Amino acid sequence: MDLIFTKEDLAKYPFSKDARKYVKELKFDYKDFKTRYGEEVLERAYLRINAAIERRVIPPIFDEDLDVEILSFPTALLLVGNIGDSLLSTRYAIAESKRASLFLRNESSEKILYLASNTFGWKIIFRKNGKFQGYTFRLFFRDYLSHIPEHSPAWKLSNRILENGEVLLIRHDVVRLLEEAVKIYILNRLSKKMKVDDFSVFLPWIEKIRNSWSKYKVKIEKWKTLDYGEEAYPPCIINLLNATKAGKNIPHVGRFALAAFLLNIGKTVDEVLDIFRSSPDFSENIARYQIEHIAGLRGSRIRYSPFKCENMKSYGLCRDDGKSCKNIKHPLQYYYRKGIAKKRKNVEKKRIS
Ligand code: SF4
């Protein structure tokens, strides 16, 4: 495709094939990090990571020097990868993918197509005309399936229009799929250790990142592992849990929703596995594999979230009676809200007695 990324594009999409080629051509060596210029690159890399930690989104501010901006991305990967904390890696990858997505939303369709095919190797083409208006792109179904951002009816292949093995997509869908591709690409890069001859120049920055991250990590882990008990489970999860314990056959989406919920509130793989033992078709190996996959211990290493309420409803899994779940958008929101309220009540009780 005859499209050349400008330097500003490289700064917007520093993960792109073009940006990687450009970085190679710059021949920026590890020795260069010891110069004033190298310090600028490290500073910007640190700002990228710190924004991901503190705000979850990396602001699209360009350093005045676009080379600093471009170089700061692989530098940030090196720093985060070296820390080797999967929670930080995921947080950073998501923040970078959101930044890319913000740019892509205002990008020309030609550039979106170029990035998808040139960087990620997708089989994607423009759709000139046909009976379905508004679908500008056609994407090979395998590329579509490997970048679905969430398990929801809207993304199910059976709910999509297919033409000769290609999925018809609107611009917004392609941007969302690309956001996922960026996240997966970064997580893959972070899972591979980068070799560096002299690491001393990076150590103070790694220390700074560790300090910043440790404050947030403590909060996140404490929040995630607070056990409020089954009384705080939302009606949909109670229903799935009871059906599973009673040995009823629940649909695949129901099993996914239950396992993802339990893992996200801090249950271990073995604890979740035990709950599924009463399932009529229980197979320890298969169930363990699936639960580990949802927990992010296999495959893409992404920990899955339970479905949001909107998707639970469309799968017929919601059990709201019209009173219990007022203003609730996610089963986890229900759990933490209920759990915190229960905790406050207990504190109040103790205070009175
Ligand atoms: S509204 Fe949400 S949390 Fe409540 S039962 Fe339905 S899916 Fe579950």
| Alpha-carbon distances, residue 149 vs 81, 153, 185 (angstroms) | 23, 12, 14
Judgement on whether residues 77 and 176 belong to the same structural domain of the protein: yes
Give the domain-ending residue among 174, 189, 216.
216
Statement: residue 149 has pLDDT above 90? no
Judgement on whether residues 212 and 259 belong to the same structural domain of the protein: no
Which of 62, 48, 143 shows the shortest CA–CA distance to 94? 48
Judgement on whether residues 201 and 348 belong to the same structural domain of the protein: no
Residue 224 lies in a domain: no
Give the domain-ending residue among 216, 248, 264.
216
| Kind plus residue range of the DSSP H or E element containing 40 | helix 36-55
Judgement on whether residues 88 and 194 belong to the same structural domain of the protein: yes
As a whole-number percent, the residues of the chain with pLDDT over 90 amount to: 63
Distance CA 196, CA 7 (A): 27
Please report how many Cα atoms fall inside a 13 Å half-sphere around the Cα of residue 190, on the Cβ side.
Answer: 29
Judgement on whether residues 116 and 178 belong to the same structural domain of the protein: yes
CATH of the domain at 15: 1.20.930
| Per-residue pLDDT tens digits for 330-343 | 999 999 899 877 77
- Residue pair 295/193 in contact by the 8 Å Cβ criterion: no
Judgement on whether residues 161 and 27 belong to the same structural domain of the protein: yes
Judgement on whether residues 189 and 263 belong to the same structural domain of the protein: no
Return phi, psi of residue 68, to 5°. Answer: -60, -45
Domain count, the chain: 2
Q: How far is CA 297 from the centre of its chain?
A: 14
Residue 1 lies in a domain: no
* pLDDT confidence of residue 74: 96
Statement: residue 251 has pLDDT above 80? yes
Q: What integer is the mean pLDDT of 186-191?
A: 92
Beta strand extents in the chain (DSSP E only): 124-126, 137-140, 162-163, 166-169
How many A from CA of 252 to the centre of ligand 1?
18
Residue 113's pLDDT band (cuts 50, 70, 90) = very high
Statement: residue 344 has pLDDT above 80? no
Provide the residue range defining the domain that includes 169. Answer: 7-216
Statement: residue 56 has pLDDT above 90? no
| DSSP designation for 124 | E
Judgement on whether residues 274 and 187 belong to the same structural domain of the protein: no
Other Cβ atoms less than 10 A from the Cβ of 322: the count is 6
Statement: residue 150 has pLDDT above 90? no
Residue 336 lies in a domain: yes
Residue 222 lies in a domain: no
Residue 60 lies in a domain: yes
Among the residue ranges 25-39, 46-60, 61-75, 209-223, the one predicted with the least confidence is 209-223
Of the two residues 226 and 270, the one the predictor is more confident about is 270
Among the residue ranges 14-18, 113-117, 275-279, the one predicted with the least confidence is 275-279
Residue 66's pLDDT band (cuts 50, 70, 90) = very high
> Hey, CA dihedral for 136, 139, 144, 147, is it positive or negative?
negative
Residue 243 lies in a domain: yes
Judgement on whether residues 17 and 161 belong to the same structural domain of the protein: yes
Q: Ligand 1 pocket: which residues have CB below 6 Å?
A: 234-236, 309, 312, 318-320, 325, 328, 331, 334
Judgement on whether residues 52 and 16 belong to the same structural domain of the protein: yes
Give the domain-ending residue among 170, 188, 216.
216
Of the two residues 157 and 224, the one the predictor is more confident about is 157
Judgement on whether residues 154 and 240 belong to the same structural domain of the protein: no
Residue nearest to atom 2 of ligand 1 (CA): 309
Atom in ligand 1 nearest the alpha carbon of residue 333: 3
How many A from CA of 240 to the centre of ligand 1?
12
**Mean of the per-residue pLDDT values of the chain:** 90
Residue 345 lies in a domain: yes
Residue 195's pLDDT band (cuts 50, 70, 90) = confident
Tokens of 329: 């958008």
* pLDDT confidence of residue 300: 63
Distance CA 189, CA 212 (A): 22
Judgement on whether residues 187 and 298 belong to the same structural domain of the protein: no
> Hey, CA dihedral for 223, 225, 227, 231, is it positive or negative?
positive
Residue 221 lies in a domain: no
- Residue pair 257/312 in contact by the 8 Å Cβ criterion: yes
| Per-residue pLDDT tens digits for 284-320 | 899 999 999 888 887 666 778 899 999 999 999 999 9
Statement: residue 84 has pLDDT above 70? yes
Rg (CA), the chain: 23
How many A from CA of 308 to the centre of ligand 1?
8
